[in-house]
Amino acid sequence: MAMTLASCGGATYEETRSNNSAAAKTERNSEKSTPDAKQTEQPTPQKPTSLTDRWTAGQVVSQAEIDVTGIDNCFTSTEIPDAIFAKMQGKSWPDNCTLKRSDLRYLRLLHCNADGKPQMGELVVNQKIADKVVKIFRELYDRQYRIEKMHLIDEYDGNDDASMADNNTSSFNFRFVPGTKNISKHSYGLAIDINPLYNPYIPIRNGKPHVMPPNGEPYAFNRDTAQFPYKITRDDLACQLFRKAGFNWGGSWPRSKDYQHFQWVE
Ligand SMILES: [Zn+2]
């Protein structure tokens, strides 16, 4: 079925809709009494509109759905739900994880995808920065900042290389800094990587720059002059908002560069 969807800027376009929209329509229709309705069917209890129930990460949503839900409800922070915590086990949350579950928050964040369409994303971050991060992503959305996708790193089995190579925006992952025995800020959910394929991490190893992910090589050098999507520079909106909120940007580090990386400064 085709219906009108909105871009992040409010303009409209046509797109084939997902099953979720059909389900929402069925739900609305069920409020009316129709001759076809099964009289024996028990009415479904009315539940408050919940993104957690209805929208999955990566799902493009219509302006009508956003309006029904309320834009403020498209940017939420909750304690880690049971289903999410189960999904994290052995992935972003290994057996030797030293955090408490209550140290983390589960965020649902609307963002503008590659085509400028509103898309649902999810992120796990430290409770200390959760509200700040929600506020930043709300402003990024309002100002049509493009983020290709935002899935939990557990969808990549906790493999950061795979997540980066897929240009996936993520935060919490209990792990060591690649190639070292140091605990990363990501282990505490205190760092966020944005559009990592186009903003690679470039540590210096044996005196040479090492591009991670490897398919980020075309975006690793000559960044002042090179033109490509999702490029984070000092003047980039995400960079400005994160810095203003008290985060440090990896692109400003003197030796190694981590253009995708924003970390909370204690
Ligand atoms: Zn990072």
Residue of 80, 88, 83, 89 lying closest to 107 (CA atoms): 80
pLDDT band at 29 (very low <50, low <70, confident <90, very high): very low
pLDDT of residue 6: 56
Compute the residue count for the chain: 266
Residue 201 Cα, ligand 1 centroid: separation in angstroms? 8
**pLDDT at residue 219 in the model:** 98
What is the per-residue pLDDT across 225-252, written as a single tens digit (0 to 9) for each? Answer: 999 999 999 999 999 999 999 999 999 9
For 207-219, write each residue's pLDDT tens digit. 999 999 999 999 9
pLDDT band at residue 34 using 50, 70 and 90 as cut-offs: very low
Ligand 1 centre to CA of 150 (Å) is: 14
Q: For residue 173, how far is its CA from the centre of ligand 1 (angstroms)?
A: 10
143 C-alpha to ligand 1 centroid (Å): 23
Ligand 1 center to residue 229 CA distance, Å? Answer: 19
Q: Residue 196 Cα, ligand 1 centroid: separation in angstroms?
A: 8
Q: How far is the CA of 250 from the centre of ligand 1 (A)?
A: 8
- Checking 6-11 for CB contacts under 8 A at 24+ apart, the result is 6/62, 6/63, 6/66, 6/117, 6/118, 7/112, 7/115, 7/116, 7/117, 7/118, 7/144, 8/112, 8/116, 8/117, 8/118, 8/141, 8/144, 9/116, 9/144, 10/63
Q: How far is the CA of 134 from the centre of ligand 1 (A)?
A: 18
Average pLDDT over residues 195-223: 96
State yes or no: pLDDT of 196 exceeds 70.
yes
Please tell me the predicted confidence (pLDDT) of residue 12: 37
Residue 183: pLDDT band by 50, 70, 90 thresholds?
A: confident
Model confidence band, residue 25 (pLDDT cutoffs 50, 70, 90): very low
Find the DSSP H helices in 166-263. 237-244
Distance 110 CA to ligand 1 centre (A): 21
pLDDT tens by residue, 50-97: 654 679 999 999 999 999 889 999 999 999 999 999 999 999 999 989
**Percentage of the chain with pLDDT > 90?**
73
Cα separation of 74 and 90, whole Å?
29
Distance 192 CA to ligand 1 centre (A): 6
- What does the pLDDT read at residue 42? 55
Distance 91 CA to ligand 1 centre (A): 17
pLDDT of residue 19: 38
Q: Is the pLDDT of residue 43 over 80?
A: no
Q: Collapse the DSSP code of 45 into the 3-class scheme (helix H, G, I; strand E, B; otherwise coil) and give the result.
A: coil
Split at pLDDT 50, 70, 90, the class of 152 is very high
- Give the residue, 5 or 176, on which the prediction is more confident: 176
For residue 36, pLDDT over 50 is answered with no
What is the reported pLDDT for 96? Answer: 83
| Centroid of ligand 1 to alpha carbon of 8 (angstroms) | 26
**What pLDDT is recorded for position 24?**
39
Instruction: Indicate the pairing of strand 204-205 with strand 208-209.
Output: antiparallel
Structure tokens of 226? 């090179």
Is residue 153 a contact partner of residue 163, using CB atoms and an 8 Å limit? yes
Confidence of residue 266 (pLDDT cuts 50, 70, 90): confident
CA gap 105, 127 in Å, rounded? 5
Cα 193 to averaged position of ligand 1 atoms, centre (Å):
5
CA of 204 to the centre of ligand 1 (A): 15
